[in-house]
A and B are shown apart, each in its own frame.
Chain A
Amino acid sequence: MPEHTFILNGERVTVDIEDDVRLLWVLRDVLGVTGPKYGCGLGVCQACTSHLNGRAFTPCCVPVGELAPGDEVTTIEGLPATVGAELHPMQEAWLEFDVAQCGYCQPGQIMAAVAKVRQAREAGREIGEADLDEIRNICRCGTYHRIREAITAAAKRY
């Protein structure tokens, strides 16, 4: 079976599995990293959103064979370490606004939010209503309003 090596939450990992298995299943079923959730496997619901080299992506849509040894995958479990803290400021804002209900989509929501803030900054502006409208992550509990509040507040703090 082919071997695949990449960096997961700051640590080098190697897995033996077929090339075409999507990264989500490698994370969840092989490596036991369960922060990224399954919601569709179609790149639609965005519940598995994580970061690949600092950019938001859906691991359900990336065959593990496409990862190179230098690729850095960050899941919700590894997000705090990217800022060297117990929690990322986005997670702190999520607690402050008590965003989560069932919580199933929230790891993906937070990872998407961090990327949206970065994306807006790269475009030379702070995150606004139009950016928030672009977030595709589904929350079936309907926490959308608090997600907007939390992102807007967090963006002012880091």
Chain B
Amino acid sequence: MAGVGRRRFLGYVLAASTLTVAAQVGEAGEAAAAVPSLPEPADLYDLNDMLTDAALPTSGLITVQVHEDGTASLALPRAEVGQGVTTSSAMLVAEELELPLEKVRVTLADARPELLFNQLTGGSNTTVSTFTPIRVAAAVARGRLLAAAAGLLGVPLAGLVAKAGVVGAPGGRSVTYGELAVRAASGVDVAVSVALKERAQFTVIGTPRGRADALAAVTGRKQFAMDVKVPGALPVMLCRPPTINGTVRAVRNADAVRAMPGVTDVAVVPTGVAVRARTFGQCIDAVRALQVDWGPGTEDGASDESVLKELRAAELPLVVPPLPLLTKAVDARFTFHFASNSALETNCAVADVRADRAEVWASLKSPIVAQEKIAARLGLPPTAVTVHVTEGGGSFGRKLFHDAALEAAEVSRAMGKPVRLMWHRTDDFRQGRTHPMATSRVRATYSLGQVLSCEQRHTSVATDFGHGLGEIITAMAAKLPVADLAFSETMFALTQQTPYDFGVTTQLLSEVDKGFNTGSMRGIYSPNVRTAQELVVDRLAAGTGSDPYTFRRRFLKEDRARAVLDKVAELGDWGRTMAAGTAQGIALHPEYHSVVAVLAEIDCRPQTTGRTVPDAYTGPRVTKVVCAVDVGLAVNPRGLEAQMQGGIMDGIALALSSGLHLQDGHFLEGSWDNYFYTRQWNTPPELQVVVMPPTTGSPGGAGELAVAAAMAAVACAYGRATGTMPTVFPVNHGGPLGFEPLPTVPPVPQSPTDGRTRAY
């Protein structure tokens, strides 16, 4: 079916017992179209491009295997943490292989050091970087199956048609892929060139499909790290310090704790005192019983106020030149408090460390770094450390790191036994990684209806990018004191962009304080940077006497952005009359060759903010959200819609309710009834997501996209409903605490015993 002049791609048939193919892509992804007038770095080449290019040299090692039972399998060198990449990857195989989707199995590959850059899951990059290689591999397999069928049936190749896992010949004869799997295999590696389907020929890509693991999820059969059965791997929990990164000086009652029911071992490791027991319940008892003398941590005495002072002192100056008379300015400064990227599955890992080897099971988005770091810590060669990537119960940036895997390996070595290590929820909030506190100063000037400049100075507690680009050398480089700032500045420049033509536009980052455990959280800088900028856009619109929607529309750089903005304005009935105390907000976010617009309606009236739910924060309610998204080409529109919905829930939480309070060297939040992530009572009753028809023809990033636009739209709506632009996020941060903080010693609370009386 190869058309004249179509691009051809090189693939391989690998020596194997059944048909096994691999793809190698010889050309880079298409360069982004340049935009007129002073493009920022991320307009031209963004983080996603960098990840895609970094992945190119080795992405040929993605292999697809056809089995005798007629199924095909792909070991995806990525993590699945809920984003649906196993499903969308299976769709790519199904498309080019002409095999029903349910016959494609996608598993997660173990750490494969030879993949170098190509085993990092982040930057919304999975579908972008694997879109072509997976299809090439599948196309090679289909060609090989057709050739094998021609030989078997004794008919010319040209007359054969592959469909639904069967090769059909003229006259009705047919043979299944399963019957061809061995015959199509090769004894030696063979290079072949293939053409891929044109977009008009797609029957799977672009169609809405349910998740491949949906049945496993709803039956409880889906296996996460703590469900993996490893013989002898008993539960382990740590007694952690009362302040951030505090240290163990002495354990006063190790023997007594060792004698507690179910307890088998007690051992000191760098992060605390580990206890191993028959059940996690007995671990909790033991952790609470331990009497530990604690040494100082890295942030003793620090508070929200002290960090804010540091941030203010480190803010880079604005540089706009003197402006003509009559120029007006909007000058605003925003504070974004620490936020937790804790997933519902706490940090956890299984480890079995022996004298000469180690085996680890965990959900890891950067498994090669985990393997190398664990090997280095244990004094073993990396080849002696096997790292299995399990399904993840959410990530939000957490699983870029391997905190629990490294800790589990250390504990297993110290105890000389296999361990199943899990963090307590309270530890996960208090000692786990956070999205760093930041301030954003924005100054925009305008005159005669034109915006002349827009400067943004983002100042943040340092973000740990120690996971590098999935490979040990870059991971080490990010740890170097000098390289490190440049690295985060690079990340900032590669991810942040201004979608509007606002004249002289600069966005700069400066960082302070490396004492906190931080990491990326869904969108890295974007939700905060975007929210600050969109709130200023609303001010500019007001200052020029314009409507927020039409003002944005006028200054947008790209037609794709204008189209999604128009879509939400139309579907959301922008500008409709609303009651006092309620309002609409509209915002836009471009990222990774995708663009999303969100229109939010909020209700800030006392009868709503005064709702009472036990042990909860209710606050303003976002009553309606309309979202329009253009990712260039949606492989699975249904999965994309789910990603947008999740991002919207995150954006609502970041704007209104979910932040950490830092006091006296520790975070006060210790449970989900303290850290107010969106709950059912905060969920918008009306929610609509529109997936725009394909525009660019190739998929852009989507995993983080909606968070920034949703947070900004909710913030803008809140400002318009209350008449005051919010400048501190989440907006409830300065209000009454809303919960009684748990003690820090013992570090974890006992489980309640009143479950029977609370049954419903």
Contact = CB atoms under 8 A, between A and B. Distances in A.
A115 B758 CA distance: 13
Contact of B281 (A21, A52, A104, A145): A21
A154 to B, nearest CB: 12
B646 interface: yes
A95 B424 CA distance: 31
A57 B754 CA distance: 10
Contact of B755 (A30, A62, A138): A62
A101 B703 CA distance: 12
A15 to B, nearest CB: 10
Given A102-B344, A102-B393, A102-B394, 15 more contacts: A17-B278, A21-B262, A25-B281, A29-B234, A37-B393, A40-B671, A40-B672, A52-B756, A55-B760, A100-B213, A101-B646, A106-B217, A107-B220, A141-B344, A144-B680
Interface string A16-33: 011011111110111010
A42 B281 CA distance: 12
A5 interface: no
Contact-residue size bin, chain A (C-beta under 8 Å from the other chain): 35 or more
A149 B647 CA distance: 18
Given A40-B425, A62-B756, A138-B679, A145 B684 contact: yes
Interface in B201-239: 210-211, 213-224, 226-227, 229, 234-235
26 contacts: A17-B279, A20-B285, A21-B282, A23-B755, A34-B227, A35-B221, A39-B672, A42-B425, A42-B749, A45-B344, A91-B218, A99-B218, A101-B83, A101-B646, A102-B343, A102-B392, A107-B217, A115-B760, A134-B613, A138-B672, A138-B679, A140-B396, A141-B82, A141-B344, A141-B394, A144-B679
A105 B642 contact: no
A126 interface: no
A107 B214 CA distance: 11
Interface string B406-425: 00000000000000001011
Interface in A122-158: 129, 132-148
Contact of B753 (A18, A26, A44, A61): A61
Nearest to B425: A40
B281 A103 contact: no
Nearest to B685: A129
Contacts of B672: 39-40, 44-45, 138
B598 to A, nearest CB: 14
Contacts of B673: 42, 44
B754 A38 contact: no
Interface string A79-117: 010000001000100110011111111110010000110
B703 to A, nearest CB: 11
Interface string B158-189: 00000000000000000000000000000000
Interface of B: 81-84, 210-211, 213-224, 226-227, 229, 234-235, 261-262, 278-282, 284-285, 342-346, 391-394, 396, 422, 424-425, 613, 615, 638, 642, 645-650, 671-673, 677-681, 683-685, 687, 749, 751-756, 758-760
A37 B224 CA distance: 10
A47 B218 contact: no
Given A55-B759, A102-B81, A104-B344, A135 B680 contact: yes
B349 to A, nearest CB: 14
A42 B752 contact: yes
B755 A104 contact: no
A95 to B, nearest CB: 5
B755 A58 contact: yes
A110 B220 CA distance: 10
Nearest to A18: B261
Contacts of B393: 37, 102-105
B646 A143 contact: yes
B415 to A, nearest CB: 17
A63 B753 CA distance: 6
A38 B235 CA distance: 13
B649 A144 contact: yes
Which 3 pairs between the two chains have the least Cβ-Cβ distance? A35-B220, A142-B649, A102-B82
A146 to B, nearest CB: 7
Contacts of A41: 280, 284, 424-425, 751
A104 B221 CA distance: 10
B683 A25 contact: no
Contacts of B235: 25, 29
Contacts of A28: 226, 279-280
A8 interface: no
A38 B234 CA distance: 16
Contact of B394 (A20, A57, A62, A140): A140
B753 A136 contact: no
Contacts of B754: 43, 61
Nearest to B345: A104
A145 B220 contact: no
Contact of A76 (B81, B220, B281): B220
Given A45-B425, A142-B645, A34 B214 contact: no
A47 B214 contact: no
Given A29-B279, A56-B759, A145 B645 contact: yes
B671 A100 contact: no
Nearest to B683: A144
A102 B649 CA distance: 15
Given A102-B393, A134-B680, A38 B648 contact: no
